[in-house]
Amino acid sequence: MNKQKRFDKIAKAIKDIKIQGARNIARKALYAYYLIPTKASKKKLLSLRPTEPMMEKVLGMTSKKSYHEIIKHFEEAQEKINKAVFKLIRKNDVIFTHCHSTNVVNALIYAKKNGKKFEVYNTETRPLFQGRKTARELKKAGIKVTMFVDSAVGVALSKEQGTKKVDKVFLGADALLKNGIINKIGSETIAKLAKQEKIPVYIVADSWKYSTKKIPIEQRKLNEVWDKAPKKIKIKNPAFEFVPKKYIKKVITEEM
């Protein structure tokens, strides 16, 4: 396959969420850019997922650094994040997560491999079901997983409703901002509920997601929600939302 075809294939996979999550998107966008290192390809990549400051940051580094210099950051940061998350997990914790975050999943797998005993509750994350990816990867690593439909978050986070008590919420982030974070749609409801239930919410994210810019929220295609919906039914499909810092106990990055 020639370079242009490889570039186009990666771009399509990012657009279609076959490659998803801020970290994977940034890594693959970087790789694609070095296949065709032009202004036009940078513009194209940035247009694929507008709520991704980490992709913007790494593409912005390409004029000064090589691919290898940039890419090594991801693993180095993840290792530090893993160690910080490890310290937070207590014996028999029930940890709640949403969508699929590589920073979160990797940290949980590291904790399991290094002897922590815990289980995970997660959401299916409609309309694209990234929660299934999370559940599969955690299960493969030997972690007990219980998946909930998104609309059961109230049940999942409340002891009174018949499920076990959740001890901690771990969410990833697409953007870390001064006054909060941006993550998958549903995150604000989860964080607000958790706060109400006195469950600490930790954001687990690479510091390269920090941004001082105004971040647009990606609105995705309506047929992801309802393919061939009757005309005149209005559908909204925002991919992300803002979570104010009042709901967040701590942001865990490799810098802390």
Point out the residues that are catalytic. Answer: 174
What is the DSSP pairing of strand 240-244 with strand 180-184? Answer: antiparallel
DSSP string for residues in 4-52: HHHHHHHHHHHHTTSS-SHHHHHHHHHHHHHHS-SHHHHHHHHHH-TT-
Which residue number, 1 or 249, has a Cβ lying nearer to ligand RUB? 249
Candidate residues 58, 59, 99, 157; the one interacting with ligand RUB per rule CB under 6 A = 99
Interface with ligand RUB, residue 22, by CB under 6 A: yes
User: How many residues belong to the site for ligand RUB (CB under 6 A)?
Assistant: 19
Interface with ligand RUB, residue 109, by CB under 6 A: no
Which residue number, 29 or 104, has a Cβ lying nearer to ligand RUB? 104
Which residue number, 42 or 100, has a Cβ lying nearer to ligand RUB? 100
CB-based contacts of 178: which residues, under 8 Å, 6+ apart? Answer: 212
Interface with ligand RUB, residue 138, by CB under 6 A: no
Q: For the chain, how big is the Rg over CA atoms in Å?
A: 18
- Do 148 and 124 form a contact (C-beta atoms < 8 A)? yes
Interface with ligand RUB, residue 111, by CB under 6 A: no
Which residue number, 181 or 199, has a Cβ lying nearer to ligand RUB? 181
Helix locations, the chain, DSSP H: 3-15, 22-35, 39-48, 53-61, 67-88, 102-113, 130-140, 153-157, 187-196
Candidate residues 6, 8, 15, 24; the one interacting with ligand RUB per rule CB under 6 A = 24
Least distance from C-beta 215 to ligand RUB, angstroms? 12
